[in-house]
C-alpha cells in the first residue's frame, strides 16, 4: 500500500462529495436566493452584472445564517483558491471569485472544481502529502496532507449547511 494516506483522503473526499451531490441535486436558483433570516451572508449583483459575496469581519452568530447562494460561492471560492495556490500560479484572491449567477452554473462550477481537485490529488504520492511544498493556502508550513484533509472537512461542512438551508426552505413553504 504505497499511497494509503492518499487513498484514505480520496475516500473521505468521495464521502463528502456524495453528501454535496445529494444537496446540490435539484437545487434551484430560488433555493439559492432565498434568505433563511432577515440578515445573513448573501450575494449581490453589481451594476456590471457580477455577483459579489458579502464578506464578514468576524464569524459571530449574530451574522445570521448564510444563503445557499453564498454557501455555493464559498465552496467555489475556497476550492478555486486552494487549487490555484497548490497547483497553479498562487495569485487568485477572494476578490477574483464571484458567484456564477444561478444554481445551474454554480452546480457546474462546483462539479468542475471537484473533478480538478480529485484529478490533482490522484497524482500525488504519500511523500507529496508529507511535503510542505504545495501547502500555501489557507495555511503554509504544514504537510500538504493537512490541506487535503481540510478540503474534505470544509466540503462536508458547507454541504451540511446547504442541506440545512434546503430543509429550512422546504419547511417555510405552505403545505398542500
Domain ranges of the chain: 4-35+64-172
Q: What pLDDT shows up at residue 101? A: 98
Report how far Cα 168 is from the mean position of its chain's Cα atoms: 20
pLDDT along the chain (176 residues), means of 10: 92 98 98 97 97 96 97 98 98 97 98 98 98 96 97 98 97 82
Q: What pLDDT shows up at residue 1? A: 61
C-alpha cell at 117: 481537485
Q: What pLDDT shows up at residue 2? A: 84
C-alpha cell at 79: 476550492
Domain 4-35+64-172 top-level CATH class? mainly alpha
Q: What pLDDT shows up at residue 174? A: 87
Report DSSP state, residue 132: S
Contact 54, 70 (CB under 8 A): yes
Among 99, 12, 90, residue whose Cα is nearest residue 49: 99
Among 148, 152, 131, 155, residue whose Cα is nearest residue 6: 148
CA 173 – CA 168 distance, rounded (Å): 9
Among 110, 104, 121, residue whose Cα is nearest residue 158: 110
Q: What pLDDT shows up at residue 84? A: 98
Among 91, 86, 87, 97, residue whose Cα is nearest residue 146: 86
What SS3 state is found at 141? coil
Contact 89, 42 (CB under 8 A): no
Cis peptide preceding 129, ω within 30 of 0: no
Q: What pLDDT shows up at residue 51? A: 98
Q: What pLDDT shows up at residue 176? A: 58
Amino acid at each position: 500500500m504505497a499511497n494509503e494516506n492518499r487513498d484514505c483522503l480520496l475516500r473521505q473526499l468521495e464521502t463528502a462529495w456524495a453528501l454535496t451531490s445529494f444537496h446540490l441535486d435539484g437545487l434551484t436558483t430560488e433555493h439559492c436566493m432565498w434568505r433563511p433570516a432577515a440578515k445573513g451572508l448573501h450575494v449581490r449583483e453589481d451594476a456590471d452584472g457580477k455577483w459579489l459575496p458579502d464578506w464578514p469581519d468576524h464569524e459571530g452568530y449574530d451574522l445570521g445564517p448564510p444563503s445557499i447562494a453564498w454557501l455555493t460561492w464559498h465552496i467555489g471560492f475556497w476550492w478555486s483558491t486552494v487549487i490555484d495556490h497548490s497547483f497553479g500560479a498562487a495569485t487568485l484572491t477572494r476578490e477574483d471569485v464571484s458567484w456564477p449567477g444561478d444554481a445551474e452554473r454554480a452546480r457546474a462550477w462546483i462539479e468542475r472544481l471537484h473533478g480538478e481537485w480529485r484529478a490533482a490529488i490522484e497524482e500525488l504520492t504519500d511523500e507529496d502529502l508529507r511535503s510542505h511544498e504545495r501547502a500555501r493556502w489557507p495555511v503554509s508550513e504544514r504537510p500538504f496532507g493537512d490541506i487535503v484533509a481540510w478540503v474534505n472537512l470544509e466540503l462536508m461542512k458547507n454541504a451540511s449547511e446547504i442541506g440545512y438551508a434546503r430543509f429550512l426552505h422546504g419547511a417555510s413553504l405552505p403545505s398542500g
